[in-house]
Amino acid sequence: MKNKLATMFKYWIFLLLVELSLIIFGSIYQPIFAETFSKDEETYESLKLFSDVLQELEENYVDEVDSKLLIQNAIKGMVSNLDPHSSFMPPESFDELQDDTKGEFGGVGIVVAIKNGVLTVVSPIEGTPAYKAGIKTGDVIIKIDGESTADLELWQSVKKMRGEMGKAVVLTIVRDGVTDPLDYRLIRDIIPMTSVRSATIAPGYGYIWVTNFRDKTTEELKDALKKLESVNSPLKGLILDLRNNPGGLLSQAAGVSDIFLDKGVIVSIKGRFEQQTEVFEAHAEKDDKKYPLTVLINGGSASASEIVAGALQDHKRGLILGTTSFGKGSVQSVKPLRDGFGLKYTIARYYTPSGRSIQAEGIKPDIEVEYNLEEQDNEKSSEQSSMEKRMIREKDLRNHLEPTKKNIDNDNGIDKDNINVNKIKQDKHDKKGDVLNSTDKKERENSNKKQDSIEPQQSSSLLDIDKLKKDPQIQRAFDILVGYGVFSRIK
């Protein structure tokens, strides 16, 4: 008790000195800083209220309280109420975010998010244990190994689903239209982190599926294109599939876009302050890809994948096909704190080359094509169509940032002499920065940040060609490429 009283006495002395300093300083500079002091006073009064509550609980709560834990929970609540992508991370969560060196780990293979306060499946990843077991988009995970997910944070739920290969985990799921909860016993498998898979879908026509944007995605894409070009000379057209791609590294989104662009803005990042403004620009190279391009997106295409789709759409470099994307147009910074804690918070919005903000609105395709299979597969068609309707989007998340009505003019609205303009060159492709997690240049060089809401995709480069050909959106994209080739020959 004596230690506690001594601590409180020191704290009140500190507050008294702060208050005295504010009064003296304010009396001198009041005409200039009146508004600033008003805000400082409000903050000071709120801190006093916080201190009063903490002291009351420490002294009179029915059980002895852990003051450190109370303060941590208060910070957690403060940050989490800003927007769905800001969070105060304890050391375990921060380590998970920073540790991107394993290359692969055991998991079940699902993308999850918190929707309406519950752990919800955004999408199962093809070929993984969750996908094979029949877990579906929109499923609500209420238990993991018998433990309720109601009181778990997102990172805690993800961590519980990950584990050693060959070990089982039981997910209890509530599904729309099914009366009783369903138990799925999944055997964890290795989920490697390769992000690019490719195939020739017809002579001269390539297909590339980018599952997320990791630190080597740009190089993986270049390698995949070389392989496609080696067996399809010349390559007459390419389908770039970004469906259900949850995003990833900003540097890789810019690098992938630059493969298909030879000049102009790729993406602009604009925050409250000038130093948070940054422009990424394409540059010309001898091996820039010029062949016709169709890009597939849907409600699961988020963040970095929306940057690529937006850049190619605004430059009229590719035809965007599918359904409206997720709509995450914000940028987060990750800051390490004392004692191993971390803070992820939103610092800016990003804008497409034409100056559009897609926050909570998404990229709208040039040609809207719903996922409806041919009549001979009515059951799967109905299921997929239902999945599209159940997809979570940015606008569905609690406290999401509202769409901005103020777009920027990338030709006239940014003073490029006073901000950081990045020409995307080869040495930048290995820079580690995440449009979800950081725009700070030093941070991007020092840490490769993962999304805490996903498990990385499987790496098998083998794709089922017959299955691809039955996919209606791929069929439509292929028909457009073939049609373009036919019409380009007509004089």
Res 16 pLDDT > 60: no
Residue 472, both tokens = 């209606």
Residue 473, both tokens = 């959106």
Confidence of residue 135 (pLDDT cuts 50, 70, 90): very high
pLDDT (average), residues 35-43: 70
pLDDT (average), residues 399-409: 70
Active site residue 67: no
Residues in contact with 485: Cβ distance below 8 Å, sequence separation at least 6, in sequence order:
236, 237, 292
- Summary mean pLDDT of the chain: 79
Residue of 194 and 98 predicted with greater confidence? 194
> Which of these ranges, 278-282, 353-357, 389-393, has the smallest mean pLDDT?
389-393
Task: Name the active-site residue from 189, 258, 314, 440.
Answer: 314
Q: Where are the beta strands (DSSP E) in 211-358?
A: 237-241, 265-271, 278-281, 293-297, 319-322, 330-336, 342-351
Q: Check if the beta carbon of residue 162 is closer than 8 Å to that of residue 107.
A: yes
> Which of these ranges, 359-368, 379-388, 429-438, has the smallest mean pLDDT?
429-438
What phi and psi, each to the nearest 5 degrees, are found at residue 122? -75, -45
What phi and psi, each to the nearest 5 degrees, are found at residue 400? -65, 150
Q: Check if the beta carbon of residue 391 is closer than 8 Å to that of residue 300.
A: yes
Say what the pTM is.
0.72
What phi and psi, each to the nearest 5 degrees, are found at residue 337? -115, 180
> Which of these ranges, 95-104, 384-393, 473-482, has the smallest mean pLDDT?
95-104
> Which of these ranges, 97-101, 300-304, 327-331, 394-398, has the smallest mean pLDDT?
97-101
Confidence of residue 115 (pLDDT cuts 50, 70, 90): confident
The count of other CB atoms within 10 Å of the CB of residue 301 is: 32
Span 233-279, pLDDT tens digits: 889 999 999 998 888 888 999 999 999 999 999 999 998 888 878 99
What CA–CA distance (Å, rounded) separates 484 from 151?
A: 53
Span 68-85, pLDDT tens digits: 999 999 999 999 899 988
pLDDT at 390: 60
- Half-sphere exposure (Cβ direction) of 213: Cα atoms closer than 13 Å: 34
Res 388 pLDDT > 70: no
Active site residue 314: yes
What phi and psi, each to the nearest 5 degrees, are found at residue 45? -65, -40
Burial (CB count within 10 angstroms: exposed 0-12, middle 13-18, buried 19+), residue 483: exposed
Active site residue 488: no
Task: Name the active-site residue from 115, 222, 270, 328.
Answer: 328
Determine the Cα angle at 247 with ends 246 and 250, to 5°. 170
What CA–CA distance (Å, rounded) separates 292 from 260?
A: 10
Span 333-364, pLDDT tens digits: 889 999 999 999 998 899 999 999 999 899 99
pLDDT at 423: 58
Residue of 261 and 8 predicted with greater confidence? 261
Residue 140, both tokens = 């609500």
What phi and psi, each to the nearest 5 degrees, are found at residue 278? -150, 140
SS3 246: coil
pLDDT at 209: 94
Res 119 pLDDT > 80: yes
Task: Name the active-site residue from 303, 325, 333, 357.
Answer: 303
